[in-house]
Amino acid sequence: MSSLAEPPASRALSRSPALSPARSPALSPALGPSRCGGERRQGAPDGGASQETRSADLNHAIRLLGDSDSSNLEEKQLKVLKKVVKRFENGLPLKDLAQIIDILNLCAEKVNEQEAFIEPVCELIKLCGLPFQKKKLSDEVSYSVTVSKSIAQLGYLMRVPSSQVRIQICKCIISFYKAELPRKLLSGYQPTSANYKTEMAELGGLAETFVLSLAIVENELTEKLWVLKVLQHLSSSGVNCRHMLKAQAASRLCLYLNDVDPSGQLVFRSSEILWNLLENTSKEEVVNQLSSLECVHALKEVFVDLLLHGFRHYDRQLRNDLLVIATLVAENPAAPMIESGFATLLIVLATYTEVKIPNPLLKGLKLTFCYEDFEMKKLLFNIIGILSKDPRAVQLLSENDVMPALLYYVKPHQKPGFHDWSASQYEELQLHAIAILASVAPFLVDKYLSCQANTLLLVFLEWCMGQDPFFGQGNSFHGTGGRGNKLAQMRYSLRVLRSVVSLYDDAVNLNLCDQGAISQLLDILKYAANKSKERDDAILLEIQADTLFILSALCENDAHRKELFSYEGVDILIPFIQMDPKKLYSGLGHNRLLFNALDCLWSCVVGCYIGEDYFLEQQGIFILLDLLALKQKNLCNIILGLLVEFCDNPRTTFHISTWRGEKDQTAANLLIQLWRQEELDLGVKRDRYGRIADVKRPIVGSFQKQQEVIPMPANSPTFAIVEISENIRAKLYLLLCKLGFEDLPGLSAKDFVTLAIIRRYVDFKVGEVWSEVCTEIKEEFRPVASDEEALKVISEVSENVGRSVAAIQTEVLESQHRQEIREEEKTYTKIQAVHKQKEMVNKSWENFLTRTSNYEALKKAKRLQEKSIEASRSKLKTQNGAVHSTDIKGLSTTIGSGRLVTVESTPSQLIGGPLSGTDLALGKPSVCEGALKKIKRVKTLDSIKKDLGPVE
């Protein structure tokens, strides 16, 4: 190893800890042992290269460059820098990166005075673009802090006043994203992972530094484009985008959009970066940075320039990208779209092809029917919808004929010409325009009426139901569900009508009704209902729901319109109310359809005696009660309200009383169950039997108890009053009042306990109000003795009502208890009788067994039988009557005889009696023979029974 001596300076510095042979094996002699313990051959290619690179020492270079008297050392410094570059031409080891950056910083300070250092600086920066070298797998993590700070220093080097250096820095950073392996790797090292540099750039905040460097290069177009190219690569990362936003990247980029750039790269790269910022960070924050007057004006100018002078496909795409960004800015109410004139320009451009009114803002504009112009048209329609939400823009929309331009599409599409939109494009524009019309029309009612929009929409809806051949493409978002049909057109036209009738403007609604809208809307309902039988989808459900809403708005508070609705409308409504409850959870919109149907029933039928009577005839009350019996929280309130309204019709009460639900449930029982469930939800305190537990506040819920009484003006309702409209108890009370609290069928004792509370609901509410009054008075004033006594009496009266109801409830429960005891006694008596009967049967069986096994018992039973027979005979003897014996001779059974009668012949002394002269006397011999045969047959049966033994 001593045969090849090192230069003195190099040998002296080799003892430095940073570059000692132990830590930097690359500095070992060419013939020294390798890392693997083997010998290197002198003259090997890598051995020669290694010997050449070891001639330079980083610490020596740092001291040499940092020498204060460096003016005379320029040649040596440049020579050392060349050696450093040569040494690391295949990549920088991670452990040496910090010293290389120190050398770069020292050189950067000299560039201001010595241009000769520009080239070495650029060469060193090129080295930073190569993949870093690591010796161990853990080096990436171990040196992460050092590497991230070193890469961040590259951004700070943009301060160097050299275009060549700045461009080289940009190329170096771009190489992070296009890394290529060097042709030769350092011995014992391997390159870092592909994403290592980009991750370290994120960690060091390089993106923020480069955004700030835009201010340095703002007057140098070439350097600015390179910086934008770097930012374009950096903005692909969400972390970098967040760093860029901290430096106000969005507003800085927007302000440079109008700078002179013949190549067009400035606008392109800036728009790309803005898009990446919008996608990778908070859209709101980006929009806020773009919402200054300067930024909006810059967007407007570059958009106009591309619109009027951009004829290439690329220019149109870039124009549309900027229009999308402008759309996002317009969504911010604070953006000065109107003040900058951008809003006016966009509105005029949106109506350019429909109203054909010359405008100086668009002089020289020529639009084609290419795809990019089609996309721009849709974006312009969209921005009209956004601007309509700004009250300041309404006047602009009215002045620039937006309403006629949108109504231009409310008509069937004619066959397209050669220079025109295709059928699918026109359909998409048509649906988009009608959708925007629904947003704009409520703000431009006067224009809406003056353009006869109602007439156009009704005619268009008639075409939608017609049989004219039309094959919708259904390609766009607005065309969903409209392929091969006109449902998409019908859907959006009804949305327009829904938006205008929801204003409840008399002029609009009158204009609709005068043109027969009610009859036509009922036809639409039938048309959609028939379609729903074929397929039940969200589009058809929305059409039906919107139609029902429009009818509700038109007929509400107008008796004549309700009469027009009556018969046909009721027949259409009933199937909607009879909807299968399982469909309410399908997610398609059946629940909305049901609610709109109930609202339509309330608005179009209630209050019209013709409609009410017909609804009752169609068993409508039964349908409502069936729906109420589902006990769905969101339906109960509106159904109870409907029933209360219908109770003004004297026939309704009978229908409610007649209704029977499952298990023969009555309406009264259902209403009381709903009351109990409502009190349970409100947290009203009751004991386990359902009786009043707090006589002072018997119907107050847990939430109401927590509310403090706050003194309020006399015209402001207190919590006790507001609470009435927030639950269904008041409606239940009104219905039970209509039914009457007496003789209600189908109620249990528990129901009567609850009914006692419902009956005094108003009294309890009065007590709550007086309690609030007392509390408010005592908080503000000290009542005089007489007033205090009056308040005390009122409070006692309220408490007494609670106590009396509690007493009634107790009496009901005790009566029920006594009734249950009586029922129990009756049941017990029945059980006793059954047991007694079983005992008698058992005893009879035991007696029978005794007779069959004990002859003495049998004789005793026989004697008792004879006595019983004798006792049963009449004491009066019949004169001249024959006496027949009841005994059967020779009978050996132990049970009574069956249904057997033996007729004996009449004694001879009686022949010639009253029957002797009749025809019956002629049959005497045959009768005697028959009797003898009968007797013989009986004896034969007796002998058989004797052989078989005793029978029960």
Question: Do the beta carbons of residue 258 and residue 303 sit within 8 Å?
Answer: no
In a domain, 168, yes or no: yes
Position 281 scores a pLDDT of 92
pLDDT of residue 182: 66
Distances (CA, A) of 765 to 177, 684, 742, 761, 803: 76, 14, 22, 6, 15
Q: Which helix (H) or strand (E) holds 86?
A: helix 74-87
Using DSSP's 3-state secondary structure scheme, residue 762 falls into: helix
Residue 402 lies in a domain: no
In a domain, 78, yes or no: yes
Structure tokens at 293: 């007057």
What would the pLDDT profile of 284-340 be if each residue is shown by its tens digit?
Answer: 999 999 999 999 999 999 999 998 888 888 889 999 999 999 999 999 999 999 999
Classify residue 74: in a domain, yes or no. Answer: yes
Residue 699 domain flag: no
Question: Which is nearest to 86 in space by CA: 142, 37, 124?
Answer: 124
39: Cα separation from own chain's centroid: 74
Report the b/e string of 519-554 with b at 16+ CB within 10 A: ebbbbbbebbeebbeeeeeebbbbbbbbbbbbbbbb
CATH number at residue 61: 1.25.10
* pLDDT for position 512: 94
Is 697 within a domain? Answer: no
pLDDT of res. 898: 58
For residue 412, is it within any domain? Answer: no
- Of 174, 60, 169, nearest to 108 by C-alpha is 169
Give the pLDDT confidence of 17-63 residue by residue, as tens digits.
Answer: 333 333 333 323 232 333 333 333 333 344 434 433 433 467 777 87
DSSP assignment letter at 369: S
Is 713 part of any domain?
Answer: no
Q: Which residues touch 304 (CB under 8 Å, ≥6 apart)?
A: 345
Do 92 and 48 form a contact (C-beta atoms < 8 A)? no
| Selection from 378, 384, 380, 500 nearest residue 431 by Cα | 378
The number of domains in the chain is: 1
pLDDT of residue 507: 94
Q: Extract the residue ranges of the chain whose pLDDT is less than 70.
A: 1-57, 68-72, 179, 182-183, 415-419, 471, 876-952
CA distance 443 to 385: 11
- Report the C-alpha gap between 54 and 186 in whole angstroms: 13
**pTM value?**
0.76
Beta bridge partners of 33: 39
CA distance 723 to 717: 10
Domain that holds residue 101: 57-181+190-204
Q: Which residue's structure tokens are 């029960």?
A: 952
